[in-house]
């Protein structure tokens, strides 16, 4: 069955697009991807989403988004899109061997944590390497952990981890942080936190069976290396847009974010729209993602309307 609209992604942008297209009787099909609910599902309290004066837990907020969208007929599937073809109409979307066709596409694949790009890091992800302190901090009770990064999220993760870990070391490749003052102060006033300046991780030492026992650090000035013992490594070096499927076919900026026409969510291919963090490296908030999700639903609706009249 050819669909009117397929939405790829299920964070605030994707599910708001689903809600609006569902209410416009477009029976949207949502592919939720590998992280249904998106980045908010790996946070705790969300205190800045309007309408929740007491704050709300990220996973719970996303459940409510989903419930609201499905109430109006959005179909949400926990499936990960593996290939797309936008070169002819209807557009084609693959989930492994399954193929789906659609008149319009809304891309809301968001962003994910950047990694260092080391082989050992990739192998030990989930076995001591983590990009989510709120998910995995629990497993490092009375252990020694390292947080990599120098921005707000590094300060936040380090501070959060002191609830569990006996010692938190922040490894930063420069000699000052780019985090905001208040976040730096909060971290530096915590006696469990210390900083290793001008250093970067060259290798993560450990195995899947036994976990991590240390990292190999390189001094960015004199290039000397030394081993630093730790039980866990948490990445907080920023985010990258999830655009692997689209880089060849859609216009993107230097950092890989999809480019949309000003004042709309239209990409360079007519009928393909992008919303949320995948096209926004400036604001990156749940509420702005939801806002652009709504825009892309309205843009898609108008596009489909125009198709019909042609």
Partner 1 sequence: MSENVKEFTLENFNTEVIESDTPVLVDFWAEWCGPCRVIAPVVDEIATEYSQKVKVGKLNVDNENQIASQYGVRSIPALLIFKNGAVANQIVGAVPKNKITEILDSVI
Residues 275-294 that bind partner 1 (CB under 8 A): none
Q: How far apart are CA 235 and CA 115, in angstroms?
A: 7
Check residue 42 for interaction with partner 1 (CB under 8 A).
Answer: yes
The answer to whether 59 touches 105, Cβ cutoff 8 Å, is no
Residue 280 is among the residues annotated as catalytic for this protein: no
Residues 178-237 that bind partner 1 (CB under 8 A): 208-211, 232
Length of the chain: 310
What stretches of the chain show up as alpha helix (H) in DSSP? Answer: 12-23, 58-71, 119-124, 133-136, 152-161, 181-188, 286-309
Among 41, 109, 199, 252, binds partner 1 (CB under 8 A): 41
Closest alpha carbon to 64 in 89, 82, 46, 83:
46
Residue 76 is among the residues annotated as catalytic for this protein: no
User: What's the min distance (Å) between Cβ of 10 and partner 1?
Assistant: 10
Q: Which residues of 199-215 are buried (b: 16+ CB within 10 A; e: fewer)?
A: bbbebbbbeeeeebebb
User: What's the min distance (Å) between Cβ of 41 and partner 1?
Assistant: 3
User: What's the min distance (Å) between Cβ of 252 and partner 1?
Assistant: 26
User: What's the min distance (Å) between Cβ of 206 and partner 1?
Assistant: 10
Check residue 96 for interaction with partner 1 (CB under 8 A).
Answer: yes
Check residue 79 for interaction with partner 1 (CB under 8 A).
Answer: yes
Among 49, 127, 160, 197, binds partner 1 (CB under 8 A): 127
User: What's the min distance (Å) between Cβ of 121 and partner 1?
Assistant: 14
Contact partners, residue 178, CB within 8 Å, separation at least 6:
150, 151
The answer to whether 29 touches 100, Cβ cutoff 8 Å, is yes
Q: How far apart are CA 229 and CA 184, in angstroms?
A: 24
Longest CA–CA span in the chain (Å) reads 68
Among 48, 83, 126, 180, binds partner 1 (CB under 8 A): 126
**Residues contacting partner 1: total by CB under 8 A:** 33
Distance spanning both ends of the chain, measured CA to CA: 22
SS (H, E, C) 112-131: EECCCCCHHHHHHECCCEEC
Check residue 12 for interaction with partner 1 (CB under 8 A).
Answer: no
Check residue 167 for interaction with partner 1 (CB under 8 A).
Answer: no
Among 28, 37, 150, 276, binds partner 1 (CB under 8 A): 37
What letter would DSSP give residue 212?
A: E
Among 116, 135, 269, 287, binds partner 1 (CB under 8 A): 135
Check residue 142 for interaction with partner 1 (CB under 8 A).
Answer: no
Active-site option among 132, 152, 219, 251 = 132
User: Between 3 and 143, whose beta carbon lies closer to partner 1?
Assistant: 143
Of 86-94, 109-117, 133-141, 253-261, the segment contacting partner 1 by CB under 8 A is 133-141
Check residue 140 for interaction with partner 1 (CB under 8 A).
Answer: yes
Closest alpha carbon to 93 in 264, 252, 272:
272
Active-site option among 76, 103, 136, 277 = 136
Q: In 3-state terms, what secondary structure has residue 248?
A: coil
Quick one: CA torsion of 183, 188, 193, 194, rounded to 10 degrees? 120
As annotated, the active-site residues are 132, 135-136
- Interface ranges with partner 1 (CB under 8 A): 34-37, 40-44, 58-59, 62-63, 78-80, 96, 125-128, 130, 134-136, 138-140, 208-211, 232
């Amino acid at each position: 069955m050819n669909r009117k609209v397929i939405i790829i992604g299920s964070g605030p942008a994707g599910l708001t697009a689903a809600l609006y297209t569902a209410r416009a009787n477009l029976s949207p099909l949502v592919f939720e991807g590998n992280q249904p609910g998106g980045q908010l599902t790996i946070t705790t309290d969300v205190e800045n989403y309007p309408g929740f004066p007491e704050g709300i837990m990220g996973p719970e907020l996303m459940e409510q988004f989903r419930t609201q969208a499905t109430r109006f007929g959005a179909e949400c599937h926990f499936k990960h899109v593996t290939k797309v073809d936008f070169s002819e109409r209807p557009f084609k979307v693959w989930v492994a061997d399954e193929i789906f066709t659609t008149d319009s596409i809304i891309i809301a694949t968001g962003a994910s944590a950047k990694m260092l790009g080391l082989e050992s890091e990739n192998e030990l992800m989930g076995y001591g390497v983590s990009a989510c302190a709120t998910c995995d901090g629990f497993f490092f009770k009375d252990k020694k952990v390292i947080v990599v990064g120098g921005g707000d999220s590094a300060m936040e993760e380090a501070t959060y981890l002191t609830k569990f870990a006996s010692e938190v070391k922040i490894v930063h490749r420069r000699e000052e942080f780019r985090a905001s003052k208040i976040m730096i102060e909060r971290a530096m006033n915590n006696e469990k936190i210390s900083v290793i300046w001008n250093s970067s991780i060259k290798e993560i030492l450990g195995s899947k069976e036994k976990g991590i026992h240390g990292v190999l650090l390189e001094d960015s000035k004199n290039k000397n290396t030394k081993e630093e013992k730790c039980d866990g490594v948490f990445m907080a070096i920023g985010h990258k847009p999830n655009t692997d499927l689209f880089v060849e076919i859609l216009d993107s900026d230097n950092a890989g974010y999809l480019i949309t026409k000003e004042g709309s969510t239209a990409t360079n291919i007519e009928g393909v729209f992008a919303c949320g963090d995948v096209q926004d490296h400036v604001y990156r908030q749940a509420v702005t993602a939801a806002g652009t999700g709504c825009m892309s639903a309205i843009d898609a609706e108008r596009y489909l309307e125009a198709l019909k009249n042609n």
